[in-house]
């Protein structure tokens, strides 16, 4: 079965067709920049550009970078404030004509990793982390998704979320060395361990590209592994969501 998945991020909106038996992309990824400002209207048109590129007529799954409850945006995150309480699936259908199933983007990436990557067959409490514009997290207990588990919103100092301290975008903004970023990530991973004591943490996004250089800066008792689906995870998981495979 081939399905279309779209991964909406803070800097880009990416889509591809996915073979749902293998989890492999069957087309090249097509990417458009996330509009600035990232308003509902401008982002819906950007999503339509991706849909039109593939000339896709069926249902579509979308990983979206906010808290998503029954297709509705419940937080601003790194997008425009007008997104709050917008019915995302309805808006995208009005603009594109397709039926949409929308879930949190980190939940989508986690679904891919749990079904086709390092989390396959793993029980207990498993946390998947995506490091990009922010810090996304997908949390699973015995393979079952616990949606919208926003660990990147844990507080670092006063009202500052930890994603403003350790995300990949912060590494770029502050031009952090590998050692400095690794130490910040180690702080975050130990924070997660202290709060929910996961059996396994799977790390994807920006850190997965630099794993060999970063991993020496992580504590030995964290049970960390690098994600296997890498930057394709969000698209794969979104495609799974298009048929309700959540």
Residue 69: CA atoms inside 13 Å, Cβ hemisphere, count?
5
Q: Identify which of 31, 26, 27 has the alpha carbon closest to the alpha carbon of residue 14.
A: 31
CATH class in words for 2-107+232-242: alpha beta
List all residues 6 or more positions away from 206 whose beta carbon is below 8 Å from its beta carbon. Answer: 131, 132, 168, 171
Asked, colleague to colleague, whether 2-107+232-242 and 121-227 share their fold, the answer is: yes
Beta pairing, strands 60-64 & 24-25: unpaired
SS3 46: helix
Q: Could you report the per-residue pLDDT of 142-196, keeping only the tens digit for each?
A: 999 999 999 999 999 888 999 999 999 999 999 999 999 999 999 999 999 999 9
Query: What backbone phi and psi angles, to 5 degrees, belong to 144?
Result: -95, 130
CATH code of the region 121-227: 3.30.420.40
Q: pTM surpassing 0.85?
A: yes
**Would you kindly state where each structural domain of the chain is located, as residue ranges?**
2-107+232-242, 121-227
Query: What backbone phi and psi angles, to 5 degrees, belong to 121?
Result: 80, 5
Q: Could you report the per-residue pLDDT of 88-110, keeping only the tens digit for each?
A: 999 999 999 999 999 999 999 99
């Amino acid at each position: 079965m081939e399905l279309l998945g779209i991964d909406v991020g803070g800097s880009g909106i990416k889509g591809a067709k996915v073979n749902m038996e293998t989890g492999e992309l069957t087309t090249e990824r097509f990417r458009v920049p996330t509009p600035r400002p990232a308003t509902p209207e401008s982002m819906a048109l950007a999503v339509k550009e991706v849909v039109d590129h593939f000339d896709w007529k069926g249902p579509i799954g979308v990983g979206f970078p906010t808290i998503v409850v029954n297709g509705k945006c419940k937080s601003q995150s790194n997008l425009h404030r007008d997104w709050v309480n917008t019915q995302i699936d309805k808006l995208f259908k009005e603009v594109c004509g397709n039926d949409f199933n929308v879930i949190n983007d980190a939940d989508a990436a986690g679904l891919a990793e749990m079904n086709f990557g390092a989390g396959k067959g793993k029980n207990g409490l498993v946390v998947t982390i995506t490091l990009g514009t922010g810090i996304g997290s997908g949390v699973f207990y015995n393979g079952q998704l616990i949606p919208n588990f926003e660990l990147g919103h844990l507080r670092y100092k006063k009202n500052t979320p930890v994603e403003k301290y350790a995300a990949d975008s912060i590494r770029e903004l502050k031009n952090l060395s590998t050692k400095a970023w690794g130490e910040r990530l180690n702080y975050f991973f130990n924070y997660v361990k202290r709060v929910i004591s996961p059996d396994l943490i799977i790390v994807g996004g920006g850190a997965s590209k630099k794993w060999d250089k970063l991993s020496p800066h992580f504590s030995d008792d964290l049970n960390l592994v690098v994600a296997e689906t890498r930057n394709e995870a969000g698209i794969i998981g979104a495609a799974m969501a298009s048929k309700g495979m959540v």
